[in-house]
Structures are given as structure tokens and as C-alpha cells.
A and B are shown apart, each in its own frame.
Chain A
Amino acid sequence: MPREVHAHVAAVTRTYAAAGDHPPVHALGPVDLELRKGEFFAVIGPSGCGKSTFLEVLAGLQRPTAGAVTFEGKPVSGSVADGIGVVFQEDASFPWLTVWDNAAFGLRRSGVREAEVRRRVEDAVAFMGLKDFARAYPSQLSGGMRQRVCIARTLVLQPRLILLDEPFGALDAQTRLLMGDEVLRLWRTTGATVLLITHALDEAAMLADRVGAMSARPGRFIEIIETGWPRERDSGIVAEAGFGEITGRLWERLRGESMKALGHAAVTAMAAE
């Protein structure tokens, strides 16, 4: 396991300011995390615990209220650093562009030469299994394929840190397993560091080298579990005995937090009534 620190999150908190009648919301932290270069790290936690906020702060899409984030030794705050790619849960493909043009979007905006654009897009589209659909529009593709388009769009930029915000959340269980295999292949081939946000215990346990279990809001890491999987792995790992142990341990840590989160939701709902 490589030990070099790729991104560092130090005592980060995020509080959303009061809006109208709503009081300020302490969404995250304090959180500390050292992401190792080339590792696959998954963050799991109950709904509304601040997982996506954590990802957005790490990406530079949100400024932390306190604490600091660094990526490759440079501070990240309020803008997305070069070398960071993000894939979102929502379908973020551009329906007015073909698969090819979707993938080429970032490169063209960056002024990369057309020959280089062509080479990188060809590689990414082929890698994501979209070669036969390069001229198709997203509306002609399934949800899983549209998410692949978004991954291809991120991949062409050759990010060194890939942040995945519940990218398979809207997909069915079987497609999620297959997409998990795709992401593992991508991770191995690119050598990038990957941070995955998910609410699925099995997904976290199957994909990650380390899984960070987050508390109910405000989200903090209550335990970080090393899975010990070999780098060469795929969704077949779900049949192994160790897989059940990891998911069981994760659930043990998260059960109480999920109940707390449900309690929060119930109190919020009662207050709204």
C-alpha cells in the first residue's frame, strides 16, 4: 500500500449560514483525513450526514468554515484544483451534445489541440465501452451508460484525484455491481486516487481499500476500516467470507448513527408540522 499523502483534510468543519427562519446548520466535522496516493477510499454514512459536503469541500466546490484542505501539498479552497475530477450522482451529461462531444467538452474548453482531443476522447470512450455509441445523444442511452459518459468526460482530463459522489445511486443493483467493476478497472489503469461517496455498505466494502464510516450530522469519521483486498479485484469479491465480515462491521458502526439520523429527520418533520 503506497503511503504518500495525496490530499490532506485537517480539522475541517462546514456550517451553513442561517437562511430565513432556519437556524445555521453544522453539517460537517471536525474531520481529519489523509488520502494516500493511489488508494481507493470510500466514505459511508447515514443520509444527510454531510458526505457530499465533505466531497465538495475536498473538491474545492465549497469553502470549509474552519480547517484546511491540501491537494498535492497545495491549499484547496473555493475553486477546483487542477488534477481533480468529479463525477456527480445526478445525470450531468449534456443532452445537446453527442457522447463524443460530451467527453471532449473539458479538453476543448481548455484549448487542447484537436489531434490530442481526438486521441484522448477515443481512448476514454473505448475504455468506458462507449465506442459504438460515440455519435449517440445521451437521450438514446441508459442511465448507466449516461453515467459512463460523465466518467469519460472526467477521464479525458487525466485527473490524479477522482471524486465520485454516489455515482451509481440512481442505478439498479446489478448495474451498480457492473459499474463498480468499471470503476475498479479505471482506478487500476489510471493509477489515480479515488474517493467514493456512497450510502451502500456492499459498494463501499467491495470497492475500497479503506472505508471511512461517518457519524450522523455533523459528519465525523467514527472509524476507518482497512478492507485488505488485493489491487486486482472485481465484484466477485462479494462471495468471499471477508466481505460479509466487513459489511457486518460497517453496519455495526453505522446502525446507531443511522437511527440518530432518522431521529433527526423525525424531529425535523414534527417541527415542520
Chain B
Amino acid sequence: MTRVGLIRIAVIVALIGALELACRIGWINHRIVIAPSEMARALVALLASGALNADIARTLGVVAIVVVLSITLGFAAGLLIHALPRLREALDPLFATYYAVPIFIFYPVLIAIFGLSPIPIVLIGVATAIVAMIIATLNGLDRVPRVLTKVARVHRLGRFATAMTLQLPAAAPYLFTGVKLSVSYGFIAVIAAEFILSPAGLGRDIADAYADFNNRRMYALILFLLLIATVVNTVLHTLDMRWAERRGAGRS
């Protein structure tokens, strides 16, 4: 492990240790926050009981659907918009201001239309994540060096072959940024939607535990979501770094 990696772990361990100490000596009221070691014990017990299995499956399933839809549809829309410059010109201001609009205001409307099913959650998740993928696709395609198009013509590649063998790999680092953002936004949107109004899911569980003053369960669930998010983002970050190193990030 690198020195920076060791420092990073030391900082996290120190923060967790400080929280543990603050809880144990009573600086933080245990009715507000429980000690991290208690959170971990509660989580292990919850997972061992199997009581969370259905909610874990539901939430992660919905997140997976949201991420797959956002990435595939966002990429396809990005390709289409990139190929139509006038449409691009018309949509660019909307993309630039998209995340200034609180998309969650449409959630009640979606529930009114589709009921308390996973569909409104999937739709709100896709609506939150898809534009990040579209913007990343446009950004990536904009940065494909023009000389590659000439190389494609020298090799007599058709449009599809050019897109798949040259443009797509050349744009890949930017597309991967879109993938990372879509995963993060998708995760946030699904948990938040479940938290607000949903009959099931981990977000619903946290809301219920909060309403019941069940701190052990609530913090165990929060810890579980933190761990999942950390693992997913670490895997994506590691892949990104490995590819960036190979391709020479920052190469002029």
C-alpha cells in the first residue's frame, strides 16, 4: 500500500476512533448517536437474522435497474444528440441547468400515476442519473481527436466500425466518469425516494427505525449503506485509476 493510502486509512480510523471515544465517555448522547462498534455489532446481528434480505434485494435490485437504464439510455441519447448539432444547441442550456431543478418534486406526481410500486422510484432514479451520462457522453465525443476520424477513413472503416473501434475507446475515460456519476446519483435517488414514500426497501427501513427511535437498527442500516457505497465507489475508482494509468492521463 502507498504512503498516501496508509495516511488515508489512518485518518478514517482516527475519525472512527474519535467518534467511538466521544460516545463511550458521554460527550455524545447515545440517544442521538451510538458508538461505531455498536453500529457494527447491530449490523452483524441484523444481517445474520436475515430480516434485511428482502429489503436489500429490493433496494439493490432497483439501484441496478436505475444504473443500467441510465447508462444505456444516457449513452444512446448522448450519441443521438451529438449527431444532431441543432438539437444539441437547443438542449445544451437545459442540460447546464438540469441539476438546479429539484427533480424530487415530481415524485408525488409519479406515485399518483404509478402507485406505491418500484416504478416511480426507478423513474425518479433514472431522471436523476441519466443527464450525467448524457453530458459525459457528449463531453467524451467532443474530445475524440479529429485525426482519428481521418485514420478511420484511411482504414476504410464504416460509421459503425468507426464508432465502436475508435470513437468509443477514445471517449471511454469520459464515459466512465458518466458511469461513476450515474451510479452515485442512482444510489442517492433510490434511497431518498424509498425514505420519503415507499412500502419497502432500505430507505424505508431507515425511516421506520428513525420514527421508532430505534437507533441501533437505524445506524446499522446507515452503516450498511455506507459500506455498500464505499465498496462500489472504490471498485469504480480503482478501475478508473488503472485505465487512466495505462492510457497516460494528463498526456499532452
Interface of A with B (CB < 8 Å)? 56, 59, 61, 79-80, 84-86, 88, 90-92, 94-96, 105-106, 109, 137-140
Contacts and interface: CB of A to CB of B under 8 A. Distances in A.
Interface in B152-186: 153-157, 161, 165-166, 169-170, 172
A139 B246 contact: yes
B172 A96 contact: yes
A26 to B, nearest CB: 22
B153 A137 contact: no
B154 A96 contact: no
Contact of A92 (B148, B165, B169, B248): B148
A88 B150 contact: yes
Q: Which one of B150, B165, B166, B246 has the highest number of Cβ atoms from chain A below 10 Å of its Cβ?
A: B150
B247 interface: yes
A80 B154 contact: yes
A109 B157 contact: yes
Nearest to A154: B154
| A61, A86, A90, A96 pick with most chain B CB within 10 angstroms | A96
Contacts of A88: 147, 150-151
A56 B154 CA distance: 10
Contacts of B153: 61, 79-80
A90 B248 contact: no
Nearest to A107: B155
A139 B145 contact: no
Contacts of A84: 154
B155 A106 contact: yes
B154 A139 contact: no
Nearest to A97: B169
B155 A109 contact: yes
B168 to A, nearest CB: 10
A109 B161 contact: yes
Contacts of B156: 79-80
A135 B169 CA distance: 18
B251 A139 contact: yes
A137 B169 CA distance: 14
A94 B169 contact: yes
Contacts of A106: 155
B248 A137 contact: yes
Residue of B147, B151, B157, B161 with most partner-chain A CB within 10 A:
B151
Which 10 residue pairs spanning A and B have beta carbons closest together?
Answer: A139-B248, A90-B147, A95-B247, A96-B169, A92-B147, A86-B154, A139-B251, A106-B155, A92-B151, A80-B154
A139 B246 CA distance: 7
